[in-house]
Chains A and B, each alone.
Chain A
Amino acid sequence: MANVLVVTSGKGGVGKTTSTAALGAALAQAGERVVVIDFDVGLRNLDLVMGAERRVVFDLINVVQGVAKLQQALIRDKRLENLWLLPASQTRDKDALTDEGVGRIIAELRTKFDWILCDSPAGIERGAMLAMRYADEAVIVTNPEVSSVRDSDRIIGMLDSKTVKAEQGERVTKHILITRFDPARAARGEMLSIDDILEILATPLLGIIPESQDVLRASNVGSPVTLNNAASAPARAYTDAARRLMGESVDMIVPAERRGLMNRLLGRRAA
């Protein structure tokens, strides 16, 4: 059965697109059939992070408006044959996205894929609403920083009220993915700890992605970090998170970048 998963956050720049690409690739690497959809109409970037920017012909809005068929707009990844991308439109007005149109596309994708990952735009406007509208699950990307945590709380409220699931009296399964985490700074009390964030948001943790240069390096070359350098700390963290999404139980560790024992011991705040 297909799973529709929205990657959202409210706040911009926390790593939604990076996380969508990395989780999508990790799920595909595990053999799942995956499509990642960019909902950021007018500011598309998932194509760039996935390295498919020169292969975009048709986009999400073309399909919504019936200009193109879904099969014509889907772009197959060059590295993984079971990973596909549905890009956003770069030029068109975002009002062209309709609830009904998105519903139709998601319903069709459900028959073809195991995972449908919706990369939400920042904010709480139409694009973000439509990205989460048909979700079964949500990954809320959060940085250990007050504004990001506040926006995540707001998004959690929307997931619990504005989605089709919520309107039917069901629940969207929510997960927190903490990105740009710096264990050393958290240990020094300069950064909200994992426990602080989870306690405030009262939502289970999917994974902890450490702050790392590998993330930038991967996006520079247009490759999801799990494909670009699978042994790197962020790639291992994303791979673990993807396994948890598939229902496996994987120990929650903060993958470190070859740090000393002391640093690793201090990675979690003492209770």
Chain B
Amino acid sequence: MSMNLLRLFNGRKASAPVARERLQILLAHERGLRGQPDLLATLREEILAVVSRHIQLDPDKVTVKLDRGPTVSTLEVDIEVPNNFEHEVRANRRLGAV
């Protein structure tokens, strides 16, 4: 009540409710992850292992990002591969490598 009245007078929007809501969403998520191994690091490692079986990769050029939205989240996997990697793969196959 008092907060609403004051807001009416000074015309500014209270930021505390936004802070509370952001914290509640974030902490609900972080508490769920607690005690579990780092999901993104595990994903990155395993994706790197699978792709490396076929293409030579620079491990630093693999990024895995998670963007949490209110209803759905996006998992973004970004792998930078060298040009001509298809030729290298074919050449390796002919040599009986891989």
Q: Which A positions have Cβ atoms within 8 angstroms of B?
A: 145-146, 149-150, 153-154, 157, 161, 186-193, 196, 200, 265-266, 269-270
Check B23 against A150 for contact (C-beta < 8 Å): yes
Q: Chain B interface: which size bin? A: 20 to 34
Check B20 against A189 for contact (C-beta < 8 Å): no
Flag whether B61 is at the interface (Cβ < 8 A): no
Mask of B17-48 contacts with A, CB within 8 angstroms, 1/0: 10110111011001100110000000000000
Residue among A189, A190, A193, A196 with max Cβ neighbours from chain B (10 Å): A189
Q: Which B positions have Cβ atoms within 8 angstroms of A?
A: 1-3, 6-7, 10, 12, 14-17, 19-20, 22-24, 26-27, 30-31, 34-35
B interface majority secondary structure: helix
Q: Which residues of A contact B16 (CB under 8 A)?
A: 186, 189-193, 196
Shortest A3–chain B CB gap in Å is 27
Check B26 against A189 for contact (C-beta < 8 Å): no
A146 touches which of B6, B14, B23 (Cβ 8 Å): B23
**Nearest CB in chain B to that of A262: its residue:** B2
Q: Which residues of B contact A269 (CB under 8 A)?
A: 2-3
Check B1 against A146 for contact (C-beta < 8 Å): no
Q: Which residues of B contact A270 (CB under 8 A)?
A: 1-3
Q: Which residues of A contact B1 (CB under 8 A)?
A: 270
Q: With A188-B7, A189-B3 given, name 20 new contacts (CB 8 A).
A: A150-B23, A154-B30, A157-B31, A157-B34, A186-B16, A188-B3, A188-B6, A188-B12, A189-B6, A189-B14, A189-B16, A189-B17, A190-B12, A192-B20, A196-B16, A196-B19, A265-B2, A269-B2, A270-B1, A270-B3
| 27 A–B pairs (Cβ distance < 8 Å), ordered by A | A145-B19, A150-B23, A150-B26, A150-B30, A153-B27, A153-B30, A153-B31, A157-B31, A157-B34, A187-B2, A187-B3, A188-B3, A188-B12, A189-B6, A189-B7, A190-B12, A190-B15, A191-B16, A192-B19, A196-B16, A200-B23, A265-B2, A266-B6, A269-B2, A269-B3, A270-B1, A270-B2
